[in-house]
Amino acid sequence: MKTQILVINPGSTSTKIAVYEAALEDLHEIFSTTIRHTAKELAPYPRVFQQYEFRKETILNELTANKLHLQNFAAVIGRGGLVKPIPSGTYTVNDLMIKHLSEGYGGEHASNLGGLLAHSIASQIPDCQAFIADPVVVDELLDVARITGFSEIQRSSILHALNQKAIAKRYAADCGTPYNQLNLIVVHLGGGISVGAHCKGRIIDVNDALQGEGPIAPERAGSIPALSLAHLCFSGKYTFEEIRKKIAGQGGMVALSGTNSFLELCARIQAEAQADAQAQATTPATPASNTTTTPATPTTSTASATAPSASATPSALSATAVFNAMAYTVAKEIGAMAAVLHGHIDAILFTGGIAHSKPFVDQITKQIGFLAPCHTYPGEDEMLALATNALNILTGKETPREYL
């Protein structure tokens, strides 16, 4: 009986693979590695799809070198790519999906190779199935959530669906309640930030994390005044590509602080605090005066009491101010999703790399903790999440969906 699952997660300059051993309903990782691809190796392939054979060969070579045999795989599951919007679930890789992934139906992205590689390798193995699960284009939005004030523009659902769903289901298992009976707000804190309203097993609203909607993130501008953006677009200073990068890729924390590393931002905050402490220690005490003075107006922020101007540059904002602005906008987005759920919220869940920062999560929960109990699941494990989805199909807990 076959008991192993191969997981494939292609990135822009690497391919992560892992092999899991299935024992009853548990998974044990028996192998994992990240295959790095140099710019020179990828240079002959101008389109992502053209890297397909090259990446397949590197995967097979890695498996052979580590004495992992294809015939032991019951399933191969790849990271979901930019297919058309689909409901959450695990999908069998079929001809239509292969066509859409090959053509770049929703755009060019390395994740498009996940389903293609899974299908190609599984097709070499008797009685082996190929899947993808919960791609970023999972779309379960309410119809009303799609409407904007522009008849030409509808809101779309693009989010960290794989991790959002995995954490929601993990919490459901922890509390002994089926996921489809819970109302949750899941907050993925990474290079992009997505805040999803999970209503009885469906993500009925979420900020568009790819297009920079919602909170300020390490590499996303977040929601900004539309007319001000229009003025920038027609100022003649920027091309479309430059504006696109300002919104997603070079916007948000990196634009405000000059770094896209949250760890570096936190290190700067510590340095600022030390500098302030040293400055206070070396400042001579002011002599007592008989003159009555008016007390300073208290502020509610640990940042500078002076609000930054709209044209602030990275040097104009302290690291503390950027940290506070990010936490503030995340809290505000959580509040919006609370309204989507009519205030009926079982829990608020924090996940992603930035969730390792207790001060950041604490800053947010000070504002929204009254809404529901808050729980933190720091980091993300896409490989285990993919393997778990495949295992649920193999054990009959779930039924694979068909891509139509």
pLDDT tens for 60-88 read: 999 999 999 999 999 999 999 999 999 99
Q: Characterise 299 by phi-psi region: left (phi > 0), alpha (psi -120 to 50), beta (else).
A: beta
pTM for the complete prediction?
0.86
Instruction: Return phi, psi of residue 10, to 5°.
Output: -80, 135
Residue range 280-317, pLDDT digits in tens: 888 766 555 444 433 333 333 333 333 333 334 555 79
DSSP helix, strand, coil percent of the chain (3-state; round to 5): 40, 20, 40
Quickly list DSSP for 29-89: EEEEEEEE--HHHHTT-SSGGGGHHHHHHHHHHHHHHTT--GGGEEEEEEE--S-S-B-SS
- Calculate the average pLDDT of the chain: 91
Mean pLDDT computed over 113-122:
98
In whole angstroms, what is the distance from residue 1 CA to residue 4 CA? 10
Averaged pLDDT for residues 149-171: 95
With CA atoms as reference, report the closest residue to 110 among 52, 157, 161: 52
From 327, 390, 329, 335, select the one nearest 354 (Cα to Cα): 327
Between CA 85 and CA 139 the distance in angstroms is: 5
**Residue 196 pLDDT class (50, 70, 90 cuts):** very high
- For 376, residues 6+ apart whose C-beta sits below 8 A from its C-beta are 349, 350, 351, 355, 358, 361
DSSP sequence for 128-183: -EEEEE--TTB----HHHHB-S-TT-B----S-HHHHHHHHHHHHHHHT--GGG-E
Give all domains of the chain, ordered by start, each with its CATH number. 4-138+381-402 (3.30.420.40), 161-279+315-379 (3.30.420.40)
CA 199, CA 367: separation in Å to the nearest integer?
22
Side chain identity, residue 75: A
In this predicted model, what pLDDT tens digit does every residue of 227-273 receive, in sequence order? 999 999 999 999 999 999 999 889 999 999 999 999 999 999 999 99
